[in-house]
Chains A and B, each alone.
Chain A
Amino acid sequence: MAAALQVVAVLAGAPLVMGGMRQVRARLEGRAGGGIGQPYRDLRKLLRKQQITPQGTTVVFALAPAVAAGSTLLIAAIVPLIALGSPLDSAADLFGVVGLLFLGTVALTLAALDTGTAFGGMGSSREITIAALVEPTILLAVFALSIPAHSANLAAIVSAAMQNPGQVFSPGSVLAFVALVIVTLAETGRLPVDNPSTHLEVTMIHPAMVLEYAGPKLAVVEWASGMRLTVLLALLANLFLPWGVAATDPSALGVLLGLAAITVKVAVLASVLAAGEVFIAKLRLFRVPELLAGSFLLALLAVTASSFLATTTQ
């Protein structure tokens, strides 16, 4: 039940997160902003439009939005956002989640290549470059997190963190958190790696890939990227601050509490992120690898630090 609720919550909450972040930014920049509900209106508008498919595109182009959205929803179903112990618990492995994330990325890059346009190719080459740098970092950070829990299972990591709250402030955990924040930014195409609201094709990464989509397909793509951000933020929050996550086989009250907790956590994280974006500029593309190499290094240090601590406590 909790898993179904998670999927619904992510599905419904994703536009809210996007809208909230835009609104925070707008207010901080002194604009009125479109309101928190604007993404819903955008999605409704797009869904009502006629379906247009560029000439010469194949089934790859047609299926990519569905794959991207589907993989993200699958992640939402298996990770412990509201409660532990989803029906797919045995598959709720951090490595599995990373794989699913990459599946969505690859689907969109292939679709962009499928259109055969210059911007599509440029966008996908950039996206893959970044993804290639991000993946090792995620794997390392995950590894660092799984050392104290002695398992890469997400539920196990979260419950280990719940039992031993002091561990969150160990050097290994702090380093892994910073590394994961950086890669989350890169993976979801936020500043300073990519600018989600850019209209300048030359600097685009993610927007360049989806330039050829229109109508309902574009709606799905946008929705998927919103969900991706939401799921990752929620996961980040729960990995390091697992307060309020309901136990296995939760009561209705537990589920509600869990839902409230995760909503608050995501809201806070998203606001902080949006507020931070006001103050930073997009990095030049060739300096992005520096940032990602830095986060890779932090993740590596996290692994080293965690392994010291793990051996000390034994």
Chain B
Amino acid sequence: MSVKYTPVQWNKNKWGYDAVLIALVVLYITVFIEVGTPAADLARPLDNAILRMRAFGTCALWMLTFILCIGPLARLDKRFLPVLYNRRHFGVLTAVVAFTHAMYVFNWYFSFTAQTTLAAMLASTNGFGQILGFPIEILGLVSLILLGILAATSHDFWLTFLSAPVWKSLHLLIYPAYALVVAHVSLGYFQDSANPVFGVLFVGSALGVAVLHLLALLKERKVNDAATEWVEACKPGDIQDKRAAIVTLSKDERVAIFRTGSSFSAVSNACAHQGGPLGEGKIVYGCVTCPWHGFSYKARNGRSPAPFTEMIPTYNMKLEDGTLYIDRKANQPGTDVEPIIYEVENDG
């Protein structure tokens, strides 16, 4: 949250997350190379350098695939939220693994020239006018640059500096990056691989990512676009204690109504940090707590507790005939709003 920046904001949980992640990457690459080494030989199509570039390349592919599954999985099932917690470190490590793959490619296929390896690669690519035989190294290179942008702008500073909407828009580059990787593999290794296991895993995982995103999209379609000033939200009794109901005002604006005992307050559903869904979090120590990274706000004024300084917009509410209504017009971030008080009967 808003404290002096440090190079990496680690805590005990993130240390554990990163340790498991690095161990899995090392294990995958070690096993891949150990299993493949007996078949690798300079006189064959597969040698040790190609084996290593495949080890890092497939590792980056699976990591990127998993990263893209985390978002929709967390939207569909809250049990996946802990995986989302440290997704940025996951992404940076993926970029490092992909970069290592690229270095093996450059240093094996484009060495021994008077030019730099990158210049040699750019000078030797052709076949842009055809699908089969398209220079897949260009697809991989552009994807690597996009992953580099995402990794290089992953520090919390960038979120504050760019603002969450701009940062989020920039990080939508993950979609073209993955599409380029899928094209890179589809038109490359997939074309001449006789290994059915890889083919099934690759096609299955890429389709799985697409299906998960489709399911998450369908879940989010419920929209309240009525042009009235006050929007009917819900009955107070519909909200569990220390939890929230999420109300959609328009396609890009949602409100979370939090209940603490008999007190009801409405705040923006988007966390000031990364736009996490606050309404899917709960009240912890009297504060609305984001389920993604634990950023906290007081429900009545949308302000983080001192010494933190983040603020989110609040909304006015009214209670009519036992129903809560939300004023469509958001208040400035940090505006104090008197909570609605309502004693819920038969509260289970």
Decide whether A and B are members of one complex.
no
> Could you list which residues of chain A lie within 8 angstroms of chain B, going by C-beta atoms?
none
> Could you list which residues of chain B lie within 8 angstroms of chain A, going by C-beta atoms?
none
